[in-house]
Chain A
C-alpha cells in the first residue's frame, strides 16, 4: 500500500503491456490481410481501370511483402501516424478523435449512473437477504439482463419515439441547434433513450448482481460474526466491515465493463444511430477500411490496458493483501 512504489509499479505494468498490445496488433494485422477481397480494388472504386487499381496498390504499399507492410505500419505508429482512412478520406486518428468523445459521453454517463443505481439497489437487496424484495430484485435483474439491447432500443423507439414522440431517437444532436446551453440540453435529450437502454439491459443488472453477491458473500465471513458478537450494531457491521470488503469485486467489474466501453455498445449505437466508436467500427468493417480498422483496434487495446491498470491500482489501494508487486 505504500504510495511510494506506485509510479515504478505503473511504469513496469505499462512496459509489460507493450508486448501484449503488439501481439494484439499483429494478430489483427494478419487477420485483415488474410481476409478475402482486395482492398486496393475497394479503394479504387468499382469502375476503376486495372492501371488505376495498380496505382492505388503502389501508393498504399499494398504490393510490398506482408512483413514490410507490418514493419512500416509499426514504424508509422511510433511517429504517431495511424494511417489514412480510405472511406472518410481523413487521417485515421482524426476520424477516431471525432467519434471517441461521443461514445465516451454516452457510455460513461450511462455506466456511472448504472453503477450507482445498481450498486445501491444491490447492497440494499443484500441487506435484506432472503426476503421477498431481495428475491424480486435478483430475478428482475436477471430478466433485464436477458433482454437484447437492440430489441429494447427498438421498443423504446417505437413507444417513446414514434408514438409518444417524447424523445428523439436518431443521432446525438438536432440539426441547427446553436448556443452552448441549448446544445447541452439537446445532446442530453438525445442521450435519454440510449442511456436508459444501456442501463436497463446492462449496467444496472450487472452491478446490482455483483454488489449483492459480494455483500452476501462477505456477510458470511467469520469476521462479520466476530464484529456482531463484539457488540457492533448491525449498521456499523455493515458500513465498516462488510462494504469495504465487498467493494473490491465491484471495482473489478467496473474495470471489466469500462474496458469494453469503446466497442461494447455497437448495437446500442446502431439502433439509435449514435455517431460513436461502435458505429464507426461497423462502418469500417462493412467498407473494408482496413487502416481505420487497425486504428480502432489499437485505440481499443490501449484503452483496455489503461482500464486494467486503473483497476489494479484501485484494488491494491482497497485491499491491503494486494501489493504493488
Chain B
C-alpha cells in the first residue's frame, strides 16, 4: 500500500485573516491519498474542505495562508517549493476541478485555445499534437469533438464541466482534486458527470480526491472517506466502514440526515445549533455543543484522532468512538423531537 502513496498531508493548518482576527479554517489535518484510489472529503459548508483543496494547490485567496504542516506529493513537500517550481508542479502532477465550471472558462477564448495554452505551459508541444491530445480527452469525458472550437457561452453547464474535467487531465496528473464537481447540476447531468469521473478513474487509475457535501455521491464513488467538521478531520475510514459503523456522532448524524429514494422510509435527524466560530476555536470537541453524548470531558479537551483498528484503517476523533452509544445517539434524539416523518 505504501508504495502507492501519492499525497501525504501532515498536520496541515490554514488560516484566513479577516479584519484583525484569524479564521482557523483548516486545523491539524493529516490525510493520505493513494494511486488508483478515490478519497471522499465530506463536510458541510464552512467546514474547511475547499480550503484544504486550495491549500494543497497553494492557490489560497490573498488573505489565506498555510501556517503549519507538510504536504508531501510523491515524497516532495509542496509547501517548500518556490513559486516557480510550483507553477510547473501544478497540473503536471496535481490538478483541480473547480466548483462552478460556469466561470472556470475564459469567455473570450475558444475552448481548444484555453486547453492548448495550458498544455503548452507544461510541455513543448506543437499545436497539432496538442489538438490530438485534446481530441483524446474529449472522447474520454464524452464530449463531441465539434465542441473544441466553441466558446464557453455556447456550451451547456454539463458540457462546460466536462471541458473542465478534460482540462484537469491535460498533463496526465497523478492526482486530481475535484471540488464539488456535481453541485449545481440537475440529477441527470450530475449522474453523467459522475459516470465520466468514474470512467476516468477506471481507465487511468490515478488518485482522486472528491470534495463534496453529498454523502450519496461519496457512497457511490469513493473508496475511502474523510469527514470534516469545523476544520478538523473527525472520522476517516473505508466507505463501507463509515456507512455501516460510523464511529463519530457527527458522521452518524450526517448519514441519518440524508433522505434516499431507496430503502425503507425513515425519520431524518437534524442537528441543532451551528458549527463553532473558527476565529476562536473551542478548547474541547468542536461538535460537543450539538452532540447528545457530550460530557464534561468533551467540552474540556479535544479528543485525539484515535485509531479504532490496528493499522490506521479507521480513525475517529471522539471519546465514545467505537461504542454503541454513537449509533444509538440519534435514535434517542428522534423520539425526543417527535420526529415527523414522510
In the complex, is A directly touching B at CB under 8 Å? Answer: yes
A321 touching B153, Cβ below 8 Å: yes
Given A222-B98, A321-B153, the answer on whether A229 and B57 have CB atoms closer than 8 Å is yes
- Cβ < 8 Å to B, chain A residues 195-230: 221-223, 225-230
What residues of chain B lie closer than 8 Å to A241, measured between beta carbons? 106, 109
Annotate B186-215 by CB proximity to A: 1 below 8 A, 0 otherwise: 000000000000000000000000000000
A137 to B211, CA, bound (A): 42
Q: Is the CB of A244 within 8 A of B121?
A: no
On chain B, the residues within 8 Å of A233 by CB distance are: 87, 121
A5 contacts chain B at the CB level, 8 A cutoff = no
What residues of chain A lie closer than 8 Å to B100, measured between beta carbons?
222
Judge whether B109 and A244 touch: CB under 8 Å: yes
In the complex formed, the residue of B with least CB distance to A320 is B151
A107: min CB distance to chain B, Å: 30
Who on chain B is nearest to A225 by CB?
A: B59
Interface residues on B, range: 20 to 34
The minimal Cβ–Cβ distance linking A63 to chain B, given in whole angstroms, is: 60
Chain B: CB-nearest residue to A130:
B62
Q: Can you spell out 24 A-B residue pairs with CB atoms less than 8 angstroms apart?
A: A222-B98, A223-B103, A223-B104, A223-B106, A225-B98, A228-B59, A229-B90, A229-B95, A230-B118, A230-B170, A231-B92, A232-B121, A233-B87, A233-B121, A236-B117, A240-B109, A240-B117, A244-B108, A244-B109, A245-B107, A319-B108, A320-B108, A321-B151, A321-B153
**B118 cross-chain contacts in A, Cβ below 8 A:** 227, 230-232
Interface of A is mostly: helix
How near does chain B come to A126, taking the closest CB pair, in angstroms?
14
Tell me if B243 is interfacial: C-beta within 8 Å of chain A: no
- Please tell me if B91 contacts chain A, counting CB pairs below 8 Å: yes
Per the 8 Å Cβ criterion, residues 233-266 of A in contact with B are 233, 236, 240-241, 244-245
Contacts of A223 in B (CB 8 A): 103-107
Residue among B90, B103, B109, B153 making CB contact with A230, cutoff 8 Å = B90
Does B17 interact with chain A (Cβ within 8 Å)? no
**Which of A221, A228, A232, A320 interacts with B103 by CB under 8 Å?**
A221
Check A231 against B89 for contact (C-beta < 8 Å).
Answer: yes
CB proximity to A under 8 Å, residues B53-80: 57, 59
Distance between A163 CB and nearest chain B CB, rounded to angstroms? 49
Residues A222 and B104 in contact in the complex (CB < 8 Å), given A230-B118, A320-B153: yes
Q: How far is the CA of A223 from the CA of B91 in the complex (A)?
A: 15
Q: Is the CB of B95 within 8 A of A230?
A: yes
CA separation between A225 and B153, bound complex, in Å?
19
Near A by CB (< 8 A), chain B positions 80-98 give 87-92, 95-96, 98
Q: Is B122 an interface residue (CB 8 A)?
A: yes
In the bound complex, how far is the Cα of B214 from the Cα of A88, in angstroms?
Answer: 81
Known: A231-B122, A244-B108. A226 touches B98 (CB 8 A): yes
Tell me whether B233 is interfacial, beta carbon within 8 Å: no
Contact A245 B91 (CB under 8 A): no
Alpha-carbon gap, A3 to B171, bound state (A): 35
Distance between Cα atoms of A138 and B166 in the complex (Å): 41
Q: Which residues of B contact A228 (CB under 8 A)?
A: 59
Q: How many residues of A contact B (CB 8 A)?
A: 21
> Given A222-B100, A231-B90, A240-B117, is A318 in contact with B108 using a C-beta cutoff of 8 Å?
yes
A20 to B271, CA, bound (A): 63
Contact B87 A227 (CB under 8 A): no
Separation in Å of the B82 CB from the closest CB of chain A?
A: 13
**Closest CB in chain B relative to A261 CB, distance in Å:** 28
Besides A229-B96, A320-B153, 14 other A-B contacts (C-beta < 8 A): A222-B100, A222-B104, A226-B98, A229-B57, A229-B59, A229-B91, A231-B87, A231-B118, A232-B117, A233-B87, A241-B109, A244-B106, A244-B109, A319-B107
How far apart sit A318 and B108, CA to CA, in the bound complex (Å)? 7
In the bound complex, residues from chain A placing their C-beta under 8 Å from that of B122 are: 231
Cβ-defined partner of A226 (8 Å) among B87, B88, B104: B104
* Residues of A close to B254: CB separation below 8 A: none
Q: Kindly state the separation between the CA atoms of A244 and B95 in the bound complex, as whole angstroms.
A: 25
Contacts of B105 in A (CB 8 A): 223, 226
Chain A nearest Cβ from B138, distance in angstroms:
17
Partner of A236, one of B95, B121, B167, B171: B121
A130 to B117, alpha carbons, bound, how many Å?
28
The residue of chain B having its C-beta at the shortest distance from the C-beta of A244 within the complex is: B108
Q: How far is the CA of A223 from the CA of B106 in the complex (A)?
A: 5
Q: Are A231 and B104 in contact, with the CB atoms below 8 A?
A: no
Contact A245/B121 with A228-B59, A229-B57, A230-B95 known, Cβ cut-off 8 Å: no
Name the one of A227, A229, A240, A320 contacting B107, with C-beta atoms under 8 angstroms.
Answer: A320
**Which A residues lie within 8 Å of B153 (CB)?**
320-321
CB distance from A220 to the nearest CB of B (A): 9
Residues B107 and A230 in contact, CB atoms below 8 Å apart: no
CA distance A229 to B53 in the complex (A): 11
A239 CB, nearest partner CB in chain B, Å: 10
